[in-house]
Structure 1
Amino acid sequence: MPAWRHVLPKVGFLWLLICAQSGEPDIKIYSENTDGFNTGVPFSQWLHHIVIQIPEPAGGPFENPLQLSGGNCSEIHVKSLNATDLTSTELSPAFALHLRASLLCTVLVSNGAVRIGFALDNVTADLAFAVQPVLEPRSQVVVPLGKVEVTRCYISFVMSMLHLHGTDSVFNSALSQFEPALKDFINEELPEVACSQLEPLMEKQASAALSSVLVQLAPFLASNPPLPPEPAARPGVTLVNWGTFPPAQLLRSLVQRRPERVAGIIQRIRPQKIPLDMLGINRSVTIDSAGTTLRSYTEELTVEGFNSFVPGSLAIQGSGSHVWSTASFKELRLGAKLQAQVRSVDPKTLTQERPLLEEFQVQLQLGHVMARAETLAMVSQHTLNTMEVDQFQDFGCLVASANGTFVGPEAPLALRQLQLNVSQPVAEVAPCGSLDPSLAEVATTLLKVILSGYVPSFEKILQSSVSRMHHAMNDVVTQVLQTTPPCGKTEVYFGPEGRVNLSLLLLSSLLALSGFCALFSPQISHEDGSEDGDSLALAELPLATHPAVPVGLARSYPFFVVATMVLFFFSDLGLGTVVNIVFRAGDEVVTIGPAFSFSVMTLSRDSIKGGAWLIAVLVIGLSGLWPFVKLGMLLYVWLTPPASLKKSKRGRILLFLDEYGKYSLVDSWLAILALCAFNLNWSDNEIGVNVAPVPMLPFFTFVVASVVSLVLGHVATVFHRRTQRCEREAAVQRTVSQEIREAKEKPGSLFNKLQRQQAWQLLAFAVFNGASVLIAAFLTSIRYEVSGLVADLLLTEEETHLAYGLVSLGLFLTEGFEASSGLHTVQAIFFVFTLAIPLALVVCLLTLLLAPLKRRDHLRLLKVCHVLDAWAAFDVFVLAVVVANFEFWLLTQFLIYHDNVASACNWVHENLNAECLAMECHVQAGFILMALGGVSSYLTPKLYFRYCQGILEEDSMTSESEEELLRK
Structure 2
Amino acid sequence: MLDARHVLQLSLLWLAWICAAQTPGVSPQINIYSEDAEDFASGVPFYQWLKHVTIQVPKPTGPLGNPLQLDGGNCSQIRINSLDAQDLTVTDLTPAFSLHISAHLECTLLLSGGSLAIGFAIDNATADLAFLVQPVEAPGSSGLLVPLGKVKVTRCKISIIMSMLRFTGSSPLNEALTQLHPALEQFINEELPEVACSQLEPLIEKQASATLAAMLIQLEPFLRKHPPLPPEPTRSGIPLVDWETYPPAHLLRSLAQRRPAQVASVIQRISTQEIPLKMLGVNRSVAIDAVGTTLRSYMQELRIQGLNSFVAGSLALLGSGQHITGAAAFANLSFAVRLQAQVRSVDPSKMKQATPLLETFEVQLHLGSVTARAEILAMVSQEAVDKMQVDQFQEFDCLVACARSGAALGSEAPVALRRLQILNMTAPTARVLPRGSLDVGLADLCTTLLRVILHGYVPSFEAIIQSSVTMLHDAMNSVVKQVLEVQPPCEQTEVYFGPESRVNLALLLLASLTALLGLLAASPFWSTFAWWDVGKVEDEEESSQQLSHAQESPSLARHPAVSQSLSKAFPFFIVSTMILFVFSDLGLGTVVNIVFEAQGETTTIGPAFSFSVLTLSRDSLKGGAWLIAILVIGLSGVWPFVKLGMLLWAWLAPTRSLRRSQRTQLLVFLDEYGKYSLVDSWLAILALCAFDIKWKSEEASVNVMPVPMLPFFTFVVASVFSLVLGHVATVYNRRSLAVAPLPRSLSRELQEEELHVLFEDLPLRQSWQLLLLTLFSGLSLLVSCFLSTIQYQVSGVIADLLLEEEQKELSYSLITLGSFLTTGFEASTGLRTVQFIFFSFTVAIPLALVGTLLALLLWPMTRPQQKRLLKACHVLDAWAAFDVFVLAVVVANFEFWLLTEFLMYHDNIAAACHWVHQNLNAECLAMQCHVLPGFILMAFAGIASYLTPKIYFQLCEGTIEERVLSSSDSEEEPLQTLQKL
CA–CA separation in structure 2 for the residues paired with 1:900 and 1:529: 57
Match among 175, 178, 186 for residue 176 of structure 1: 178
The equivalent of 1:335 in structure 2 is 336
From 777, 790, 796, give the equivalent of 1:782: 790
Cα RMSD of the aligned pairs, angstroms, is 2.7
Post-superposition shift, 1:425?
A: 0.9
* Residue of structure 2 in register with 1:694 after alignment: 707
The match for 1:940 is 948
Corresponding residue to 2:651 among 607, 619, 638: 638
**Which position in structure 2 is the counterpart of 1:669?**
682
Cα displacement (A) at 1:5? 7.8
- Hey, what's the Cα distance between the residues in 1 that align with 2:72 and 2:266? 67
For the Cα contact (< 8 Å) 1:26–1:289, is it kept in 2? no
Moved more, 437-446 or 954-963: 954-963
Partner of 2:102: 100
2:552 counterpart of 1:540: yes
1:201 aligns with 2:199: no
Match of 2:462 in 1: 459
TM-superposed deviation, 1:735 = 4.2
Does the 8 Å contact 2:968/2:974 carry over to 1? Answer: no
Distance 1:288 1:472, change over 3 A: farther
- Cα distance between partner residues in 2 of 1:319 and 1:966: 90
Deviations 1:255-309, CA, capped at 9 Å, x for gaps = 1111111111111211111121222222111111222111111111111112222
Q: Per-residue CA shift, 1:548-582, capped at 9, x if unaligned? A: 11112112211111221121122112221111111
In the alignment, structure 1 residue 889 sits paired with structure 2 residue 915: no
Residue type of the alignment partner of 2:205: E
The aligned counterpart of 1:158 is 161
Contact 2:95–2:133 under 8 Å retained in 1: yes
Question: Is residue 2:55 matched to residue 1:52?
Answer: yes
> Helix, strand or coil for the counterpart of 2:436?
coil
Aligned to 1:90: 92
Amino acid at match of 1:277: K
1:389 aligned onto 2:390: yes
1:865 and 2:867 are equivalent in the alignment: no
1:730-745, aligned counterparts within 5 Å?
A: 734-735=742-743, 737-745=745-753
Partners of 2:77 and 2:106 within 8 A in 1 = yes
**1:299 corresponds to:** 300
3-state SS of paired residue (1:676): helix
Match of 2:270 in 1: 269
Write the distance in 2 (CA, Å) between the matches of 1:818 and 1:256.
26
Q: For 1:781 and 1:858, locate their aligned partners in 2 and report how far apart those are by CA, in whole Å.
A: 37
The alpha-carbon deviation at position 158 of structure 1 amounts to: 1.9
Identity rate, percent: 61
In the alignment, what sits opposite 1:21? Answer: none
> Partners in 2 of 1:438 and 1:13 — Cα distance?
19
Answer yes or no: is the 8 Å Cα contact 2:314–2:328 preserved in 1. Answer: yes
Point out the more displaced range, 841-850 or 356-365: 841-850
Q: Which of 68, 71, 74 is residue 73 of structure 2 equivalent to? A: 71
| 1:649-798 correspondence runs (5 A) | 649-726=662-739, 728-729=740-741, 734-735=742-743, 737-798=745-806
Tell me the SS of whatever aligns to 1:379.
coil
Distance apart, 1:896 and its partner CA: 1.5
Distance 1:739 1:590, change over 3 A: closer
| Stretch moving more, 678-687 or 419-428 | 419-428
Q: Give the match's secondary structure for 1:230.
A: coil
Moved more, 39-48 or 323-332: 323-332
Equivalent pair of 2:280/2:475 in contact (CA under 8 Å) = no
Give the C-alpha shift of residue 56 in structure 1: 5.9
Task: Look up the equivalent residue of 1:181 and give its one-letter code.
Answer: A
Equivalent-residue separation in structure 2 for 1:397 and 1:468 (angstroms): 25
Distance in 2, matches of 1:794 and 1:165, equals: 86
Deviates more, 1:475-484 or 1:588-597: 475-484
| Shift of residue 463, structure 1, vs aligned partner | 2.3
Deviations 1:475-495 (A, max 9, x none): 344345546565355242116
Letter in 1 for 2:431: E
SS in 2 for 1:388: coil
Quick check: 1:572–1:698 contact (8 Å CA) kept in 2?
yes
1:501 maps to which residue?
A: 504
Q: Distance in 1 between matches of 2:53 and 2:486?
A: 45
Secondary structure of 1:31's match?
coil
Letter in 2 for 1:27: Q
Question: What are the equivalent positions in structure 2 for 1:517-528 lying under 5 Å apart?
Answer: 517-522=520-525, 523=527, 526=533
- Once the two structures are superposed, the pairs formed by residues 407-556 of structure 1 within 5 Å of their partners are 407=408, 408-411=410-413, 412-467=415-470, 470-479=473-482, 481-482=484-485, 486-487=489-490, 489-494=492-497, 498-522=501-525, 523=527, 526=533, 533-541=545-553, 542-556=555-569
Q: 1:118 aligns with which of 100, 106, 120?
A: 120
Q: Separation in 1 of the partners of 2:340 and 2:405?
A: 38
Unaligned residue ranges in structure 1 (runs of 5+): 16-24
8 Å contact kept, 2:667–2:729: yes
Q: Alpha-carbon deviation of 1:7?
A: 5.8
Deviation at residue 938 of structure 1 after TM alignment? 1.3
Contact 2:379 2:407 in 1 (8 A): yes
Q: Which moved more, 1:299-308 or 1:773-782?
A: 773-782
Superposed displacement of residue 640, structure 1? 1.1
Instruction: Tell me, in whole angstroms, the C-alpha distance in 2 between the residues paired with 1:753 and 1:392.
Output: 71
Structure 2 counterpart of 1:535, one-letter code: L
Shift of 1:466: 4.3
| SS of structure 1 residue aligned to 2:595 | strand
Deviations 1:231-262 (A, max 9, x none): 223x1443222111111111111111111111
CA contact (8 A) 1:224 1:468 kept: no
The 5 A counterparts of 1:345-360 are 345-346=346-347, 349-360=350-361
Does the 8 Å CA contact 2:94/2:134 hold for their aligned counterparts? yes
Alpha-carbon separation, structure 2, partners of 1:744 and 1:650? 33
Match of 2:594 among 553, 557, 581: 581
**Other-structure match for 2:215:** 213
Aligned to 2:251: 250
Contact 1:266 1:306 in 2 (8 A): yes
CA 1:778/1:466 → structure 2, altered by over 3 Å: closer, same or farther? same
CA deviation profile, 1:154-209 (whole Å, cap 9, x unmatched): 112122222222248x8755653344433333333221111112111211221221
Distance 1:29 1:80 in 2: 34
Would you say the 8 A contact 1:515–1:559 is kept in 2? yes
Cα 1:498/1:102, change in 2 over 3 Å = same
Which one of the candidate residues 610, 619, 643 is aligned to 1:606?
A: 619
Matches of 1:143 and 1:484 in 2, distance apart?
A: 45
- Give secondary structure in 2 for the equivalent of 1:49: coil
* Matched residues, number: 950
Could you tell me which amino acid in structure 1 is paired with residue 86 of structure 2?
T
Further displaced range: 368-377 or 626-635: 368-377
Determine if contact 1:281/1:476 at 8 Å carries over to the other structure.
no
Q: For 1:400 and 1:172, how far apart are their aligned partners in 2?
A: 84
The 1-side partners of 2:716 and 2:115 are apart by: 110
Unaligned 5+ runs, structure 2 = 16-26, 976-981
Q: Deviations over 1:859-905 (max 9, x none)?
A: 22222221111111111111111211222122112212222222222
Shift in alpha-carbon separation, 1:339–1:631, aligned structure 2, 3 A? same
Letter in 2 for 1:690: N
Aligned residue in 1 for 2:885? 877
Larger deviation: 491-500 or 510-519?
A: 491-500
What residue in structure 1 maps to residue 18 of structure 2? none
Tell me what 2:635 maps to: 622
SS in 2 for 1:842: helix
TM-score normalised per structure 1: 0.93
Provide the secondary structure at the position in 2 that maps to 1:423.
coil
Q: Does structure 1 conserve the Cα–Cα contact (< 8 Å) formed by 2:116 and 2:168?
A: yes
Q: Distance in 1 between matches of 2:762 and 2:474?
A: 96
Q: Distance in 1 between the 2:973 and 2:601 partners?
A: 86
Tell me which of 218, 227, 231 is aligned to 1:229: 231
Structure 1 range deviating more: 606-615 or 481-490: 481-490
